[in-house]
Amino acid sequence: MNHEDSVLLHTEGRIRHVTLNRPRALNALNHAMVLRMREALHAAEHDGSVVAVLLTGAGERGLCAGGDIRSIRDDALAGGRTSLDFWRDEYRLNARIARFPKPYVALMDGIVMGGGVGVSAHGSLRIVTERSRIAMPETGIGFVPDVGGTHLLGAAPGELGTHLALTGDAVGAADALACGLADHFVPSEDVPAFISALDTCTTPEAVVATAERFAGTAPGGELTGHRDWIDACYAADTVEEIIERLDDCGVPAAKQATTTILAKSPTALKVTLAAIRRARRLDSLEAVLDQEFRVSSTAFTRPDLIEGVRAQIVDKDRNPRWSPAELAEVTDEDVARHFAPLGDGELGLGPGVGPATTVTG
């Protein structure tokens, strides 16, 4: 499949359709797809006949399962640098989507994880269905939430985002709405009619009104009912103290969260907590993406990413051997290293950071 086939483009009425088209790989993103999406958005922005963009995923399983992490592992094993080039363009695309001046409608049906969140949850109209399963599961592969994920999760009410970042748990439609990861629920059976209605829209205002007209009430979620213990436990200053509070609070769901967290990469957990806290203090998505690029660049050189992908994707033994293996062995210096400036290697989206760049090309 060439890069033009992996992202399909067509226009219906005044709506530009962008379809991720690698269904056998659950539409996992590669570099060529990111570049083609960037070109498509540039063209749509400057085409006066286009009033909105609609992002969908081919196949029945979901919008996008994330980046092609198997190829990232291969690159790391070979001592390459192409993954950094991929992330550089991917993060620029995430910022581009967030600042897109026309309605960007993302149909977050089915599985939406990692990089899939990056190309959807920064959009202006984010649609979920009862089939939606949305997650940033990076700690389970020895990595840290990126693609603006720490910006999104850091902005979630209370400590809900911290809980999702550390556990990597997937959420359904109601919880995605509660966390600010989505805007409207549309039942999957109504999606074809919704898309047909969008295709008749001739103004941005009509696109927004159509999304509101089709919006319904999502089936009951779970997180809002757990806010008390989530907020109390995840407000702790360290991962170790979070674990201690989860163990001590006496809630079965909190105990399950402990088990889930302790299976993740200790280094990734500590860096993730620091990244979420730092993201809340930054003043823009662009500044957070700059930070995430520093973190990703360092994580790419560490053993846990290679090992995590091996355990989850390559060998599928689900038995990663993390290094260090225990939270107590991950030092403050280990964490701080991930946030160190990259000099000329900075992503440079935020003002005064690294080389001058643009997100409009």
Active site residue 67: yes
Find residue 64's DSSP bridge partners: 112
d(CA 195, CA 55): 11
Residue 112, burial from CB neighbour count under 10 angstroms (0-12, 13-18, 19+): buried
- How many helices (H) and strands (E) in the chain? 17, 9
| CA 93 centroid distance within chain | 12
Active site residue 146: yes
Kindly name the residue from 90, 109, 146, 346 that is annotated as catalytic. 146
Find residue 105's DSSP bridge partners: 54, 125
Beta-carbon count within 10 A of 150 CB: 28
Kindly name the residue from 57, 66, 114, 115 that is annotated as catalytic. 115
d(CA 229, CA 323): 30
Q: What are the angstrom distances between the C-alpha of 162 and each of 61, 138, 141, 340?
A: 27, 13, 17, 22
Active site residue 138: yes
Kindly name the residue from 67, 118, 123, 149 that is annotated as catalytic. 67
Torsion of CA 328, 291, 115, 50, to 10 degrees: 160
Q: Judge whether 108 and 63 are in contact, CB under 8 Å.
A: yes
Kindly name the residue from 90, 138, 169, 175 that is annotated as catalytic. 138
d(CA 259, CA 247): 10
Element of type H or E holding 254: helix 252-262
User: 255: which 2 tokens?
Assistant: 């105990």
Burial call 296-326: b when 16+ CB within 10 Å, e when fewer: bbbbbebebbbbbbbbbeeeeeeebebeeee
Q: Are strands 184-185 and 15-20 parallel, antiparallel or unpaired?
A: unpaired
Give the residue numbers annotated as catalytic, written as ranges: 67, 115, 138, 146
